[in-house]
Amino acid sequence: MAGWIKKQKNLSVSLLMALLLGLFWLAQRQESTKAPKAIITRTFDSIPVSVAQVSRAVVRDSFSTTGTVEAFREADIFSESAGQVRRVSAEPGEHKKRGDLLFLLDNELASIRQKKAEAYYGQKKRDLERYRNLYNEGAIPLSAYETVQLQSDEAGADFVAASRKNSDARVKSPFSGVITARFVELGELVHEGMKVAHIADLTRVKIIIFVPEREIMKFVEGTLLSVTSDLFPGESFSGKVSSVSEKSGRDHTYRVDVILHNPDKASFRSGMFARVLSLGKGERQAVLVPRIALVSGIRKPELFVVRRGKAFLTPFIAGRELHKSLEVIGGVAPGDTVVISGQNELHDGASVLVIDQKKSPSAP
């Protein structure tokens, strides 16, 4: 019995020692895994960034923005009558003049009603003439003459309505333009008020742009502007300001419509993008920073300036936007180094490691 107890004690001691050795090994492993993290953390204390210098350049006070091309006039065409489509003369892409026939609906009954109304109206006009002569001779009272006159007027109104109804069976082009879409086919039943086609006048186009308030004084009705498009490289077109909105949107921009006489073969089409350029007069010196250096929006412009290996968040006064550059009125000076890549990882006073220095912005 005593030997068994002694054996159990030895086993307990062995298990305890094994447990202590296991805990020691686990603690050592955790320390070893923490060490590389510390090394990594120390390695990335300096945040890698790309920078560029604030510079001076000769600029012209021009303004460029991208707008959307719209047809000078466009309209959905609706049928004012009901009936089966008997003839189709509106193919997409086909040019139509004002008043050209697009669709002919079944107008057999309408034509008959027009003829009946016309005949009845003719009869009432003859009755009116006969009663007028009788009244002038004193053969009938005034009331009889006025009754026939009223009947003649009603017959005339019925004739006009019947003629209009018959005419509505011919769906015509409201103005000269190109058919951009057709929604009905030959033999299809059309209801009154149904959309049957779409037409657009592309002999002239409108370019819709939105101009910030600091630039809006350059855009008055009649001002000539230069228009370009990536689809027509090397070509420049002349546009004219046709209207300027009197009210700005929430983003403090004003809508401006620019009218452009479309070149031959309708180069510009509705929905395209076009760049509108307003050229300033004369040249001047300006301090420029890359626009991508901005940390926040243009309303509250800020950027990071690098000094002695650290980045400092610096507000500045912005002037005009000049293509990819931004004019600086105050806050930073020529020669200052600003961060143009990696700003999202920075905070005021953060240590930085310059890995790339771009060229200073040049004149637009």
* Predicted pLDDT of residue 313: 93
In this predicted model, which residue has the larger pLDDT, 125 or 265?
125
Beta strands 224-228 and 237-244, pairing class: antiparallel
In CATH, the number for domain 48-59+284-357 is 2.40.420.20
* Predicted pLDDT of residue 361: 62
- pLDDT-derived band at 3 (thresholds 50, 70, 90) equals low
Q: How far apart are CA 94 and CA 269, in angstroms?
A: 15
Identify the weakest region by mean pLDDT among 137-141, 171-175, 237-241, 276-280.
276-280
* Predicted pLDDT of residue 175: 92
* Predicted pLDDT of residue 235: 86
In this predicted model, which residue has the larger pLDDT, 215 or 89?
89
Proportion of the chain above pLDDT 90, given as a percent: 34
3-class secondary structure, 346:
coil
| Rounded average pLDDT over 334-357 | 90
Q: How far apart are CA 106 and CA 112, in angstroms?
A: 12
72-100 residue pLDDT tens: 899 999 998 888 999 999 999 899 999 99
61-72 residue pLDDT tens: 777 889 999 998
DSSP 107-139: -HHHHHHHHHHHHHHHHHHHHHHHHHHHHHTTS
- Locate all alpha helices (DSSP H) within the chain, ordered by sequence: 2-43, 108-136, 142-167
* Predicted pLDDT of residue 62: 75
Identify the weakest region by mean pLDDT among 3-7, 116-120, 196-200, 316-320.
3-7
| Rounded average pLDDT over 3-23 | 59
- pLDDT-derived band at 52 (thresholds 50, 70, 90) equals very high
- pLDDT over threshold 80, residue 359: no
- pLDDT-derived band at 306 (thresholds 50, 70, 90) equals very high
Identify the weakest region by mean pLDDT among 3-17, 80-94, 206-220.
3-17
May I ask the CATH architecture of the domain 78-195?
Orthogonal Bundle (1.10)
- pLDDT over threshold 60, residue 6: no
* Predicted pLDDT of residue 236: 87
The verdict on pTM exceeding 0.85 is no
Q: Name the residue among 15, 31, 34, 64 with its Cα closest to residue 236.
A: 64
- pLDDT-derived band at 35 (thresholds 50, 70, 90) equals very low
Per the CB < 8 A criterion, the answer to whether 225 and 66 are in contact is no
* Predicted pLDDT of residue 37: 45
* Predicted pLDDT of residue 240: 92
Q: What mean pLDDT is reported for the chain?
A: 84
- pLDDT over threshold 90, residue 11: no
* Predicted pLDDT of residue 250: 83
Question: Token match 């509250």: residue?
Answer: 300
Per the CB < 8 A criterion, the answer to whether 353 and 48 are in contact is yes
* Predicted pLDDT of residue 273: 92
Question: Token match 């968040």: residue?
Answer: 313
In CATH, the number for domain 64-71+200-278 is 2.40.30.170
- pLDDT-derived band at 9 (thresholds 50, 70, 90) equals low
- pLDDT-derived band at 351 (thresholds 50, 70, 90) equals very high
Identify the weakest region by mean pLDDT among 20-24, 211-215, 260-264, 312-316.
20-24
Q: Where are the domains of the chain?
A: 1-43, 48-59+284-357, 64-71+200-278, 78-195
